[in-house]
Amino acid sequence: MNNITKNTINIPRYPLEFQQIIATKNHNFVGREFVFAAINNFIHQYDRGYFTIIGEPGIGKSAILAHYVSQNPGVAYYNVEIAGKNRVEEFLTAICTQLIEIAQNQGSKTCVERSRNNLTTNFPDSTTEDSGFLSLLLQQISNRLHSEQRLIITIDGCDRIDINNQPRGSNIFYLPRYLPEKVYFILTRRPFLTDKSGLLIENPVQSLDLSAYSEQNRADIQEYIKYYLNESCHSERSVSKEKNRGDVSLNMTEQSFDDDETNFLYVREILAAINEDIYPPNLQLYYQNHLEKMNLATSKQQKMALQVLNILVQEQSISIEIIAERLDVDEYEIKVILDKWREFLYLESIGAEIHYSIYHASFRDWLRQQIESKF
């Protein structure tokens, strides 16, 4: 299936830091056609709107967006996870810079001045105060789009946005509540509570939860492993000329993953360290960042949070009711803690109850080690 969205518009080069992360995330990319099909169907079905890709940490959201952008040169791109890019001022400056050049390429006159060497854009003072200037640019571009053209803006990592410097109740990054025709935002984010989306929107809205596509995710993981091994074996044979080395690596790799594995980051790091007798350092750092965001060290509920976490790492799946019974506390107190950890949990309906589990077995095992050694 072709994952190119027809009739997007040409835009200028991305900032260097965005180019680098797109190239990195797009390396060895395979599959995910069901996601691209859903995006294209949404754009075909609605004349504007917001499309959100939701998925657990490491499942490949960033790579999906990077590949989509690489295949569609008319798509604006912003990545929140780059250091310093999680504040609204940075977002509006970067995105408006791209949009201004789009508008100018259309022949529009924008309310900005550009320096002679075309490297600096001087925005109106109110540019980063609300969505007014962004909305003005979107409308200006929309007015000049041909009937078959679309303006698509992508934002990767919406769960990392710093909302502390925005007025309470405002949309994350001041994203417009209303969009003009032919304008679309594609967002990625980890699982979240519905009332914590940070968005109030009066446009068509659709989300795709990657966890609902287990079969497709597993198939893409298997394709990724085969592709990685083919590339690795080809490189090893070219350098070492050892004919059997690739076959050994293949056998080792097949034994390293469960058939149900769906987490791309985990697979990538394990593959990179397949011949090493260590836990991959990048994976340890990734999990350490998870733990820091869970904020156990400073939580007012630290003692109870540690007790809840200790239960979660010992169980495959468990309900709030059972956790509350074991700790002899009110179920509401447990729910408050689990809601805070929503992005790191997998939820499953069993009967009339919701059962919770750590999103990935590897992270659960790592947490168990941390609890045993530190807490």
Domain harbouring 206, CATH code: 3.40.50
Q: Are residues 309 and 188 in the same domain?
A: no
362: domain CATH number? 1.10.10.10
- For every residue of 257-296, DSSP letters joined together read S-TT---HHHHHHHHHTTT-SS--HHHHHHHHHHHHHHTT
Residue 61 and residue 145 in one domain: yes
On whether both 267 and 315 belong to a single domain, the answer is no
Phi, psi of 185 (to 5 degrees): -115, 130
**Residue 253: pLDDT band with limits 50, 70, 90:** low
**Domain stop point among 263, 278, 293:** 278
| Those residues with Cβ within 8 angstroms of residue 292's Cβ, 6 or more apart along the chain or in another chain | none
Q: What is the pLDDT of residues 38-66, one digit of tens each?
A: 999 999 999 999 999 999 999 999 999 99
pLDDT recorded at residue 243: 42
Looking at the domain assignment, is residue 315 inside a domain?
yes
Q: Could you give the number of structural domains in the chain? A: 3
pLDDT of 7: 55
Q: Please tell me whether residues 204 and 221 are part of one structural domain.
A: no
Show the DSSP H helices in the chain as ranges.
16-26, 33-45, 61-71, 88-106, 132-144, 214-240, 245-254, 264-272, 281-294, 302-314, 320-327, 331-340, 361-374
Looking at the fold, whether 203 and 230 belong to one and the same domain comes out as no
| pLDDT for position 3 | 63
50 shares its domain with 179: yes
Instruction: Supply the pLDDT for residue 106.
Output: 79
Range of the domain at 269: 215-278
- Write the pLDDT tens digit of every residue in 360-375: 999 999 999 998 887 6
Give the bridge partners for 318, in sequence order.
Answer: 356
Q: Is residue 4 part of a domain?
A: no
Q: For the segment 143-160, what is each residue's pLDDT rounded down to a tens digit?
A: 999 888 899 999 999 999
| pLDDT on residue 172 | 94
How far is residue 192's CA from residue 61's CA, in Å, rounded to a whole number? 15
- Based on the fold, state whether residues 109 and 135 are members of the same structural domain: yes
Choose one of 278, 293, 308: the last residue of a domain: 278
Q: Within this chain, do residues 72 and 202 fall inside the same structural domain, yes or no? A: yes
Separation of alpha carbons 284 and 355, rounded Å: 26
Domain boundary among 212, 235, 259: 212
